Homo-oligomer: A and B are copies of this chain.
Amino acid sequence: MVRIAVAGASGYAGGELLRLLLAHPDVEIGALTAGGNAGTRLGEHQPHLAPLADRVLGESTAENLAGHDAVFLALPHGKSAELAAQLGDSLVVDCGADHRLTDPAAWDRWYGGEHAGHWPYGLPELPGARERLVGANRVAVPGCYPTGTSLALFPALAAGLIEPDVVITAVTGTSGAGRSLKPHLLGAEVMGSLSAYGVGGEHRHTPEIAQNLTAALGSPVSVSFTPVLAPLPRGILASCSARLTDAATDAATIRQVYEKTYAGEPFVRLLPEGQWPTTGQTLGSNLVALQVTVDPDAGRLVVVSAIDNLTKGTAGAAVQCMNLALGLPETTGLPTTGVAP
């Protein structure tokens, strides 16, 4: 049995981690900690986690988190490096942003301050990523937007089928913002309205998407990224496109590239032709649903991906990486069915 701890257990990412870990056959749940909610019962914050309702949250200190085989950090950015340094050789899976970017200058521009260094990047489906995760003791879980968008676009980029100038609009549920008490996240404001934010390249996930796509191509990729907030709790639907290169002959060949790329991937599902992804089908599952097509008039490839931002977009990826890091079968404890309707 793997004994785990979760720091940030009263938040949305922490709650989803615990939902998955409760169902994981090889996991025993150890310390649960929080920031401002330390000292309260988990059941006050996560009433859906009935089996853990009476657990009292500790403080998110290294002392409380030490002595576990794996520690999951679901903390605001800037908090994980110092904690991790005190956790020795335990596996540390960081759901925050601190160790995702490889370029200190990018960190400084987008998040500000000194970079804590990068860790193996927890998107096993990217080229070369899985190998770096096997046996790792530090993992940086990707951002929710980079997950679905990178997997939508890297196969075409790597195969030279599209120009390195991609345009992404991704629509998201509101849990991606966490349990932040901000007026624009109130139910009354969210329901019945759609809004864009971080437009013009200002969202912090932009450099992370660019980093993933640039790595896949081997040369710089320009990313135009617009996130849109929609009235649902969970889910990201990303509409991704780029101009086709001369190497892109026909739609069938392009589809084959995606089929081949994802043939062995347990969590990426290229839908049958003509069927388009919905976020509803991925709710609570670790799946990425994908569809790819060609717009002949516009000369563009269009790929649409759907994920659950809290599962494959955060906590599911974290558990998938824990499995890889600890030598467990990669798919253990991870649902491939969604909860619908």
**Smallest CB-CB separation from A181: which chain B residue?**
B181
A197 to B291, CA, bound (A): 11
Q: Is the pair A15, B340 in contact by a Cβ cutoff of 8 Å?
A: yes
Judged by a CB distance under 8 angstroms, whether A219 is at the interface is no
Q: Is the pair B191, A339 in contact by a Cβ cutoff of 8 Å?
A: no
Q: Given A191-B191, A191-B233, A192-B283, is A295 in contact with B201 using a C-beta cutoff of 8 Å? A: yes
Q: Given A239-B169, A285-B48, is A190 in contact with B192 using a C-beta cutoff of 8 Å? A: no
Judged by a CB distance under 8 angstroms, whether A327 is at the interface is no
Segment touching B, from A59-67, A73-81, A153-161, A223-231: A223-231
Q: Whole-angstrom distance from the CB of A226 to the nearest CB of chain B?
A: 4
Judged by a CB distance under 8 angstroms, whether A299 is at the interface is yes
Q: Is the pair A239, B222 in contact by a Cβ cutoff of 8 Å?
A: no
Judged by a CB distance under 8 angstroms, whether A83 is at the interface is no
Q: Is the pair A193, B235 in contact by a Cβ cutoff of 8 Å?
A: yes
Instruction: Please count how many residues in chain A sit with their CB below 8 Å of the partner chain's CB atoms.
Output: 96
Q: Whole-angstrom distance from the CB of A79 to the nearest CB of chain B?
A: 21
Copies per complex? 4
Q: Is the pair A22, B223 in contact by a Cβ cutoff of 8 Å?
A: no
Q: Is the pair A291, B199 in contact by a Cβ cutoff of 8 Å?
A: yes
Contact of A337 among B48, B181, B230 (CB under 8 A): B48
What residues of chain B lie closer than 8 Å to A191, measured between beta carbons? 174, 187, 190-192, 231-233, 341
Q: Is the pair A173, B196 in contact by a Cβ cutoff of 8 Å?
A: no
Sample of 23 A–B contacts (CB below 8 Å): A44-B275, A48-B282, A50-B336, A165-B298, A171-B230, A174-B187, A181-B181, A181-B186, A191-B232, A191-B341, A192-B235, A192-B280, A193-B232, A193-B278, A193-B283, A194-B236, A194-B280, A199-B302, A201-B298, A222-B297, A222-B298, A226-B302, A231-B232
9 closest A-B pairs by beta carbon, nearest first, are A193-B280, A187-B190, A48-B338, A169-B169, A224-B298, A200-B293, A194-B237, A48-B340, A181-B181
- Known: A201-B297, A230-B230, A230-B231; 15 extra A-B contacts, CB below 8 A, are A45-B183, A47-B275, A48-B283, A49-B337, A50-B269, A187-B190, A188-B233, A192-B279, A193-B235, A196-B237, A196-B239, A199-B276, A199-B293, A200-B295, A228-B237
